[in-house]
A and B are shown apart, each in its own frame.
Chain A
């Protein structure tokens, strides 16, 4: 596990954030949290986390998607590359198409949602940790 990596969780469910914080911190990750779109964007800009965990359905329906688009629009390279993992319920139907998992940590520009991974809800902490480990490893190749 990439000990000491900084993880930002953006999710309006504070109880879920609390549970995930315990899970992530138990593996030596440093966790900060934000509970809506604007504070999430501010936290990302101020803290420059190594990875962002994002909930799709926040109070304003598809806030999570907007978070992604607005973050990736920023000019700085950091914002285009910081790994984002989306927490989602697989049964949620949406008109947005997701970025196809090409398995090498890159994403295509265009209509797809430019994120690194999806984790189904209800979240299995072991699965989430494994995915975090993976995107962090890809981000910093040995």
Chain B
């Protein structure tokens, strides 16, 4: 048992009080109706007048409790409850800090305690008017112990059991001693049982055991339940806090990704100028414009120029990748782009290269394919896929570009009969600088950024890319892009 489980959470206590008040209206009516029926059906010889007075008393103090409860609910959570709060803390010393003002919880506990005590008084009166020890209503004391264990601390529940037992004993002893009248129910088995000390003592003892045992059992269960509720409350708070932390972490990650792209862009931009100058200077020398060149010198310079060209290609691709990953797509540059015309243009651009390699480059593009986007980027996307197909397809093979509508979107497919991508390489082909082992063997050129750029461009335009491939047989890339009407894929 933990300290925190001593009391229910503040909301539970207040709801319990309100529920208790509602039940009492029913109880008052039930007492009045039962007394009247018992009397008029001639079952028992009951003093109906006093019993109806008890019912009326129930109604009166319940009305008071009702108005107090409403005022309770209207008070601010952290208001100081003064002496009432101090007394309440005696009854319910340990409360849930942080789940509502401590005073509020303690005062709600005091309120519940007062309600049960008033009910015990009413019950003692009812007991007296229905036969004292003979009355079957003594069992009702146990109901309140159950309620007390739900609403109050273990200590307060035992205190309630003691109050209940004292009231019961008071009635029994009062009648036993003759200080109070005895209203017999007319049970035939023991007309003067209330006058026998052994009967009186036995009833008091049995009720005492019942009340204390009920206090013990119910408190134990209630404390366990409260602990679970408390754990649930803490868990749900933890989940909310974890969610916030995750969101923050995601924001930081996104920001880091953006600054990474920005850094990449700046570095590539700085490298591009000098690399271009190196390439141009080497070409001037190679083209013999700076004077005659010996063969070994020419070969070395040509190698240097090729390597400079590779570096320039990497910086160009890094710039493309960085701009495709920019934080917010700059939709000022977005225009309707007809993919069919774009595919035709790109095919025309690469036809020479395909023929030189002995490949058949063809298209079966459906007419249309209008998407909204950056024309330059879209062209880059198609060109990268076609270039890729040509690069990794051996002579005699085919590279085919298809364009087809698919559920409000357009699917651009580039299929080749090339070297293929192994199953374990397929998930990585879109990673930066990743090139499959067979790709590196087949073609030395290639920056390893082309497919990263394609994916970044597709995602920037709300689309996606998928790959299917069989090693040695070919590869199919399918890019899905939203149609110009703004459909989502």
Contact = CB atoms under 8 A, between A and B. Distances in A.
B316 interface: yes
Interface in B270-323: 272-277, 279-281, 283-284, 287-290, 309, 312, 316, 319-320, 323
Given A93-B333, A122-B312, A15 B284 contact: no
A93 B376 contact: yes
A91 B284 contact: no
Most buried by A among B284, B287, B323: B284
Given A13-B273, A16-B277, A23 B284 contact: yes
A123 interface: yes
A84 interface: no
B283 A125 contact: yes
Interface string A10-34: 0001011011101100110000000
B483 to A, nearest CB: 25
A11 to B, nearest CB: 10
A49 B387 CA distance: 42
Contact of B277 (A19, A27, A93, A124): A19
Nearest to A57: B273
A126 B282 CA distance: 12
A13 B275 CA distance: 12
B125 to A, nearest CB: 92
Contact of B280 (A26, A27, A124): A124
A18 B382 CA distance: 38
A89 interface: yes
A19 B276 contact: no
Interface in A20-58: 20, 22-23, 26-27
Interface in A77-129: 89, 91, 93, 121-126
Given A26-B290, A122-B312, A16 B323 contact: no
B253 to A, nearest CB: 27
A124 B376 contact: no
Interface in B421-476: none
B283 A124 contact: yes
Contacts, number: 53
A121 B287 contact: no
Given A23-B287, A26-B290, A91-B316, A125 B376 contact: no
B276 A22 contact: no
B197 to A, nearest CB: 106
Given A19-B280, A19-B281, A125-B284, A26 B289 contact: yes
A122 B309 CA distance: 9
Nearest to B320: A91
Nearest to A92: B319
B243 to A, nearest CB: 39
A37 B315 CA distance: 27
A59 B467 CA distance: 43
B319 A20 contact: no
Contacts of B273: 13
A20 B376 contact: no
B290 A15 contact: no
Contacts of A27: 289
A122 B280 contact: yes
Contacts of B272: 89
Contact of A16 (B276, B288, B316): B276
Nearest to A122: B276
Interface in B246-290: 272-277, 279-281, 283-284, 287-290
A23 B279 CA distance: 13
B287 A126 contact: yes
Contacts of B287: 23, 125-126
A124 to B, nearest CB: 6
Contacts of B279: 122
Contacts of A20: 280, 284
A15 B289 contact: no
A67 B290 CA distance: 30
Most buried by A among B274, B275, B287, B376: B287
A15 B275 CA distance: 11
A23 B286 CA distance: 11
Nearest to A25: B289
A116 B89 CA distance: 92
A121 to B, nearest CB: 5
Contacts of B275: 122
A126 B277 CA distance: 15
Contacts of A18: 281
B453 to A, nearest CB: 11
Contacts of B281: 15-16, 18-19
Contacts of B319: 91
A19 B284 contact: yes
Contacts of A19: 277, 280-281, 284
A99 B319 CA distance: 25
A124 B333 CA distance: 30
A124 B31 CA distance: 107
Contacts of B274: 15
Nearest to B281: A19
Interface of B: 272-277, 279-281, 283-284, 287-290, 309, 312, 316, 319-320, 323, 333, 376
5 contacts: A15-B277, A16-B281, A22-B290, A23-B284, A93-B333
Q: 7 nearest interchain CB pairs?
A: A122-B276, A19-B281, A26-B289, A122-B279, A16-B277, A23-B284, A23-B289
